[in-house]
Structure 1
Amino acid sequence: MVKLIIDGQNVEVPENTTILEAARSMDINIPSLCYLKGINNIGACRVCIVEVDGVDNMVSSCNNPVKEGMVIHTNSPRVREARKTNTELILSQHDCKCAVCSRSGNCTLQTIANDLGILSIPYPMKVPPYKWSPRSPLIRDASKCIKCMRCVQVCDKIQTLNIWDVEGTGARTTVDISFNRKIMDSDCSFCGQCVIHCPVGALSGRDDTPRMFEALANPEKV
């Protein structure tokens, strides 16, 4: 067992426990976007950062294990400011029309932004254009993708279909269908796992409600 202090509270957890899991075991909330236990712990979003005494730089809590005697601060002024900046940068590359998003009210990014008191974005908005087949029962909106890689890891490690992959470099990095394919030409089973685990509204099921009402109003079909 490893003994440490988190936000002034003594805690004892098993070896190899991450800082994030240790904090959650004490009901201390550390926000995260990309983390999925046992599946995705790449620390890409940098929202789960914490401050550790004796360490100059802040560390991501999702992929750093606890160490004996650690003193961790999850909500210090320095942590809050850095967490807010990182979230603002994510929002600057995200379509923020929340009122008309299918995940409005159930969006992890929206919740984190609200909790941090973000009311404006002090960076230029750079939302990438992207075309997607309307025939697909799975809809992807690239303008909402935050590149958390959850869909990639869930599809690879749970479904083992390897449908999604990272494309581009630097600021042009995005997630797309692997091997430069179209969704309808891939081996996607449309299981919905990527939709369920997407923390924002980048992935969703196709809405056929208008077609249903049209069919119901057609006396030749009902």
Structure 2
Amino acid sequence: MTRLAEIDGLAVPLPIENLDTDQIMPKQFLRIIDKAGLSEGLLYDLRFDAQGELRSDCVLNQASYRGARILIGGSNFGCGSSREHAVWGLQQFGFEAVIAPSFAEIFYSNAMNNRLLLVQLEREAVDVLLHDAATQTAAQLHIDIEQQTVTAASGHVFTFPLGARHKQMVIEGMDTIDLTLASLHDIEAFERAHFKRHSWAAVL
């Protein structure tokens, strides 16, 4: 898989607090046997009216933000149910990263496991980026995953926390199974040593 060390792109502001996974991916779009077609359902009730027409006042429908790769959200982003479809939908819509003051724990794990980068910044920093993104002319962001920095076109630079395991998963495109297999040699060595010391525990 291609190494991902940086993300450059347009950022779209969506400062909604407690945006839950039921809103991100409504239940009617979960009746699938694969991951295909979830981009249509992403934030459906926000993007479409009762007649199924695009809402012109929704930032995600505005031409100036078309092709955005980064979403800037509100606190507790991704709360609610544990549906992984919310992550898949964001990715299929074109997002590679979400920036917010905080994320729901399960959503955070689901996102990192699928290589959707979540960037947690202080509220003041997010507010600055939201303001920049709202002006549109300063909506371009550069995220350096290795250095753990976000740089705005306006010149603002912010540092974000990222654990070593999650950093490796995003950069190298690994999930939790890949991480386990990467340690297979050590696991097998431990197993051999364990059963050598405790031969009575070996499975016959």
Task: Give the shorter-chain TM-score range.
Answer: under 0.3
Higher normalized contact order (CA 8 Å, seq sep 6+, divided by chain length) = 2
Q: Give me the TM-score of the superposition, normalised by structure 2.
A: 0.28
> What TM-score do you get using the length of structure 1 for normalisation?
0.26
